[in-house]
Amino acid sequence: MAARISFSQYRLEAEIERCRGECQWDRIPDLVQQVNLARIHEHDDFGILLLAESLLEECLRENTAQLRDCTPLMEEKQPKLHQAKAHLSTILNRGKLQPKYLTEAMLVLAKLHYVEGSPRDALSMYARVGLESFAMENQQLYQSRLLAEALLIKGLSMERQHVSAASQARLSERQEEALSCFEKSCDITLLYLQELDKSVSSPHSKGVKNSGSAMEFSPGFFLEAALQNAYVTHLKKGNLVRGQRRLRKVLRAVESKGMLNFKKTAARLLVEVLLHTISEDCYWSPSSEPPPELQAKEPSTPISYTLEREPEQYSGDNLFCPQDNIEEALLLLLISESMANRDAVISRAPDQLEDRAVSLEDASQVYDLLSIAMARRGQYGMLSECLERAMKFSFDEFHLWYQLALSLMACGRSASAVSVLRECSKLRPTDPTIPLLAAKVCIGQLHWLEEGEVFSRMVVDMAEEAGEFLAKGHLALGLCYSLQASDASLKSDQDKLNRKALETLKRAHELDPDDPRISLYLSLQLALVRQISDAMAPLQRALKDGKDDLHCLHLLALLFTAQKHYQHAMDLINMAVTEHPDTFSLLFTKVKIEAVLQGPEEALLTCRAMLRLWQNSFHSSQSSEGDEGSSADDSSPLSRKPSGLHLTLPDFQDPETGSQRTPSIAASRLEQAMSERSAYSTTQRQGPGQMWTTLELIWLQAAELFMEQQQLKEASFCVQEAGALFPVSHSVLLMRGRLAELKGSMEEAKQLYNEALSINPQGVRILQSLGLILNRMGRSSLAEKVLRDAVQAQNTSHESWKCLGEVLQEQGRSEAAAECFLTALELESSSPIMPFTVIPREL
């Protein structure tokens, strides 16, 4: 019988220790009743100690918010706190506890003093206990928790206690002692949580009733603070080395269930330190020592303490070790992002509203940091993939949707970006910046003019509510009309759209006359409708606000050439090239002007300089991509990827007219598809596709200049180089046809022109060349048809009208020919040396 009672007592005491270790305070009152019934500890106050501790812990759990705000708990307003304090006072007054339990009672009372706002009384109690003499060896699980909390509270009490003038000299010593308490408390807490995880997972624990509740263990306020206070205090004091070491140590500790949420917070904090405080030059990996200059800034006195057992750390061979701060930040963030996705609350039930808001806030912080880290490496594609995964719990959450749209824009997925921006505009229908951004993508990258018009109208329809963005809305709408006019095939449609574009841009200029961008595009639109003199006034205003603006200088030079002031244009282009030496569009215009003023030989020198510039730009682009990496897909020659270079020729630009016509886009895509099957294209070209298009145009320009000098061998070499880049380019085929024509091979030339026309049916220069050669071959009727198509495609081309007049004159239709010549002469008087459409029209 005695053995049976002893065994029952053993089981009951073991259950009490387990509940105290796992913080199952709701079971303590029942266990105390069992202790009293079994007459265990009937001669001491052990049961009262258990009740006092459980009452205090339940009170703290109910008032966690006040503890986080450092608000003292008032005994008068907290009945449980009052009862706990009464029980503990009774215990200490009676002195009927064993020394071990008496020490525990004093630790609990010190904790109570602290939450009451009496740090001095707490320190006095710890001095009576002799906290420094505690040993971790052979301690029970709950005793580790008591010791970790006691060390934390001691450190906090030392920080909060008022420092008198007499003790100012000991201030640094007390701060170091408090830090020592925080670090020791952190390590003991890690040990406690790891041991708790093992005890819960053990076979014996699984068989114990109600042990399942421990699987959802929450550390509570003081244990969470014990994990955080050491590194937080270091970082507040500017001790980056100590703070970062402590954060890394905590994150490398073997996982336990009570640490999951804490580790997510610690990982985010370490990422913030890595991104905002540690530069790449000062970074040190987890396996190396920090730079001496950083260590020299830290306090010289090290924090030293010893534990019988250290927290378990992840270790092993072949572990990944980051080599720079961005790499380590990305590793932490990708792990945090995976945890945020796993723990996200997807349910829209009203009772889960608060949990959903908390999980969304955590995820948003992770994705914001991901955006910063990945943007530094240009990994926008990976960032968009991460944000797409967040969409499952981001219903009606504007911030994450908008982040996704921006990342899609940055990685070149423009069509997807527009779709996401459309959803963003539904979430914030009164925000004019969102449809403006969508219109910018539609106008620039996608050439979706109808969609761009819809988004622009959304801003215009907001009227006064759009505020300062109303003028931008009119600007976007005017650009859509202007581009649609360039794409229109019927003259009536062109005139109608040009008129609407001009009216809209004038309205934008009225709303914001000081915006140089609006002034520029108003001037450009006036130039497109050949109102050259009127175009000068708004352009001068734009230049007044931005004297070295690239597009303003370029447009002014083109206006000078339209007025046949070639020397003024040359002087202006030279000045613009000095300001923007890497801009190829300026250099192409310079070549054209030099050919008129100084002859082809001088222009060829500029072409050679352009080839050298292209080579340098290409090598610079390759080295920057190798250093920083890139998320954009460069396999397509049409991919639009920022390279850091001023390659300002618009994508899908027609080298004949400079316009972004829809047939030219289709032609470029057809060329791409066919060129990919060519022998040369089997060797992958590296770098932005726009660079290779620029190189092709340089070779073709040089070929044209050589042909003017009748140097056909050199011209053939240039065409061959361009053809090696894009074998079935309509521009290359056109130049090959002209070369064959100069050699007298009329049939070959006609065949090449037909092939070029099949790729680009709206190519004006192709139609002109084909019409003239057909006329020379005696097929004047077909030549007339082809040249009328050229006039229909671009009715402001004086060359097309002139060619048509020559054909009509040979047919004996003098009146019609004279009319064509007069039209050509009128248009030529206001024609620039390069089409005005080389100026990109984009927001």
Q: What CATH number did the domain enclosing 779 receive?
A: 1.25.40.10
| Per-residue pLDDT, 212 | 43
Q: Is the dihedral of CA 419, 424, 426, 432 positive or negative?
A: negative
Rounded-to-integer distance, Cα 727 and Cα 704, Å: 18
Residue 804 lies in a domain: yes
Rounded-to-integer distance, Cα 466 and Cα 457, Å: 11
Mark whether 699 and 746 lie in a shared domain.
yes
Residue with tokens 């880290």: 373
Token pair of 514, please?
């000081």
**What residue type is 724 in one-letter code?**
A
Domain boundary among 701, 733, 756: 756
Residue 698 lies in a domain: yes
| Per-residue pLDDT, 679 | 37
Rounded-to-integer distance, Cα 267 and Cα 251, Å: 7
Mark whether 695 and 614 lie in a shared domain.
yes
Q: Which is nearest to 198 in space by CA: 21, 51, 346?
A: 21
| Per-residue pLDDT, 198 | 85
Mark whether 793 and 822 lie in a shared domain.
yes
Mark whether 700 and 622 lie in a shared domain.
yes
| Per-residue pLDDT, 612 | 93
Residue 843 lies in a domain: yes
| Per-residue pLDDT, 560 | 95
Rounded-to-integer distance, Cα 150 and Cα 133, Å: 13
Q: Are 111 and 153 in contact (CB under 8 A)?
A: yes
Q: DSSP code of 649?
A: S
Q: Which domain holds residue 700?
A: 610-626+690-756
pTM of this prediction? 0.80
Domain boundary among 703, 722, 756: 756
Q: What is the phi/psi pair of residue 253, to 5°? A: -65, 145
| Per-residue pLDDT, 646 | 33
Mark whether 707 and 741 lie in a shared domain.
yes
Mark whether 749 and 766 lie in a shared domain.
no
| Ranges in the chain, pLDDT < 70 | 1-7, 41-43, 133-138, 162-169, 202-217, 300-306, 623-688
Q: Are 186 and 229 in contact (CB under 8 A)?
A: yes
| Per-residue pLDDT, 630 | 41
Mark whether 708 and 831 lie in a shared domain.
no
Residue 616 lies in a domain: yes
Residue 634 lies in a domain: no
| Per-residue pLDDT, 662 | 47
Q: What are the percentages of helix, strand and coil residues in the chain, rounded to 5?
A: 75, 0, 25
| Per-residue pLDDT, 1 | 39
Rounded-to-integer distance, Cα 200 and Cα 198, Å: 5
Domain boundary among 712, 739, 756: 756
Residue 434 lies in a domain: no
Residue 774 lies in a domain: yes
Structurally, how many domains does the chain consist of? 2
Mark whether 617 and 739 lie in a shared domain.
yes
Token pair of 729, please?
């380019």
Q: Are 795 and 528 in contact (CB under 8 A)?
A: no
Residue 67 lies in a domain: no
Mark whether 836 and 736 lie in a shared domain.
no
| Per-residue pLDDT, 636 | 37
Mark whether 696 and 767 lie in a shared domain.
no
Mark whether 617 and 711 lie in a shared domain.
yes
**What residue type is 464 in one-letter code?**
E
Q: Is 22 exposed, middle or buried (0-12, 13-18, 19+ CB in 10 A)?
A: buried
Mark whether 752 and 835 lie in a shared domain.
no
Region of 463 (left: φ > 0; alpha: ψ -120 to 50; beta: rest) is: left
Q: Are 223 and 249 in contact (CB under 8 A)?
A: no
